[in-house]
Each structure stands twice: as C-alpha cells, then as structure tokens.
Amino acid sequence: MNRTIVTLPDRKEPIRIGSGAARTMCDRGGFWFAYENQDLCSVGIGHLKFLRCGPDCTFRIPPATLPDSATEINWRYRLISPEPIVSDGAIARWATIETEEE
C-alpha cells in the first residue's frame, strides 16, 4: 500500500495519509483539514481524521475540535493542519510530499 507523506510546518512528525484517502479528498475537491486523536489515555492516539470545510459545507472554517457526528463522538480529535491539506483537488503546495511503500 502506498502512502502520501505530508510534512506540516512546526510539526516534528509528518502526517501519513493512505493513498486511497488522499485520492478521495482530491477527487471530492474542497478544502480538507487534518485532525489527530490527542487523548493520552486512548489506544487510538495519533489516529487521523479529515474534515472538508468551505462554502458548500457545514463548516466554512475548520473548528478547533472535530465535530461529533451521528455515529461518533470526536472530542479527542484536535485540528493539526493550520492550512488545508487538500485544496481544490490538489495536495497543498506548502506541504512536503513523498510516497512510501507500506
């Protein structure tokens, strides 16, 4: 499996996005932001989720905490990308992108 590696400014570890997730975000367009599980007591610490924001979305700007959905409570997930990771169908220009084999 291939992954897209996105290095954010002011972050020690890069974000690793599965190639399928990156492709899906690019295909759907819009502005995508990364959220990370930062609960130190959680077995899922470090897990990433992504939220699409913009004029045609529920959120025009990304909230600091990932909103709850009908099926998930997301208070553990905090915004970690100050700028969109995917913007209008392309990985952000400011990001350092590499591909690795898994």
Instruction: List, for residues 8-46, the tens digit of each pLDDT value.
Output: 656 666 677 777 777 888 888 889 998 999 999 999 888
Instruction: List, for residues 38-57, the tens digit of each pLDDT value.
Output: 999 999 888 889 999 988 89
Instruction: List, for residues 51-101, the tens digit of each pLDDT value.
Output: 999 888 999 999 999 999 999 999 999 998 877 888 877 776 666 555 555
Long-range (24+ apart) CB contacts under 8 A made by 63-70 are 65/35, 66/35
Model confidence, pTM: 0.79
Task: Give the span between the Cα atoms of 30 and 14, in whole angstroms.
Answer: 22
Helix %, strand %, coil % for the chain, to 5?
10, 35, 55
